Structure 1
Amino acid sequence: MRSKGFSGGTAVLVMRRKLLLVGLTILILGASVTGFGLVRVEGSSTRSTRVTAYSQGEYITSVINLSVPSVLTVESSSKNSGLIPVYALSLVNESNIYLYAVRPTASSGGIYSYTNISGDYYYVVFSNVTPTVSYLITPLNAAVYATLIFTGIVFSIVGVVAVTLGVVLRTPPKPVT
């Protein structure tokens, strides 16, 4: 008497199709979430390298507007520089910049990091030649998007594993009778 239902080979075929379908779905979902996160992180960050002469030997960036708590990373070729609140720009000179400059959270080799700050600032540099200054503003909410990127990568890996299993899975050999 034969049992109703799938034979071993048919069951494996159905399982392969389901694994392929689920794997492809998870892979597409993971790639989409990763792409969305990357676009949002890149779109929420601001970069600039422009400095203009403010007065003789004094250079400033455009206004750095930190309307939401952010991480500001500045790279400057001059040690005689600092992040100055907009209201203090007219008060700053080469000998008193340290009085008005916001202290960086971390610094190393001409790179200064300011964490969890908000407000309007200029980065001011005192130099005999046009200095090189670049800055990157990353809002703290970008961490949410970084989590999305990580989740998307995990989903993509799971999707690839499921698709691979769906392709590699073989029909069990028929028993010898």
Structure 2
Amino acid sequence: MSRPATYDDLNTLCRGIKRSFIHLETRDAYGTEVELPHMAKWASGEPDDYAWLGWWLDMLQSHRAAGRTCRRARVVSEPLSTYQQWTKSHVRLFVEAGEDIRYVSRPRLVDVMLPGSGDFYVFDDETALFLHYAGNGTNASFEIAEDPQIVQACMTAFSAVWDLTKPNVEQRSE
């Protein structure tokens, strides 16, 4: 059984992990109100100070300092959409803060079964949060599931995707 959730629930779960979160992204583009102005800046060649990401990067740094892990797998089409090109242009900020972000080309997943909604998080191997999107990429709703079978299905799907990913070139900052 699942229940409706909010953006605040997502933030609370992300901030409150005890051990880890995993995040699967399956869309080529998202249209969040927060991101669109910054993507427009990038498209026109304007610099971005990324202050709008500060809270997320601070959270990632605190998780890393505490020994918690944050992993994100992005399923992408090739060539990359403009949105994915934009996210790759600043992925290093997330990686330097402590999130392991990897990419896999969509055709590599033909034999991987993914949960129907596509995008999800799993927090501490206990709670799944599904992100549902409208056709234009804006978030339509969130849904939380704590049923162990649903959580396990998400973790299995994420692991199958993760095994096919490769580290992003931008991650090799050592």
**TM-score, structure 1 as length reference:** 0.20
**More strand as a share of residues:** 1
Q: Which structure has the higher relative contact order (CA within 8 Å, separation 6+)?
A: 1
Q: Considering only CA atoms, is the larger Rg found in Structure 1 or Structure 2? A: 1
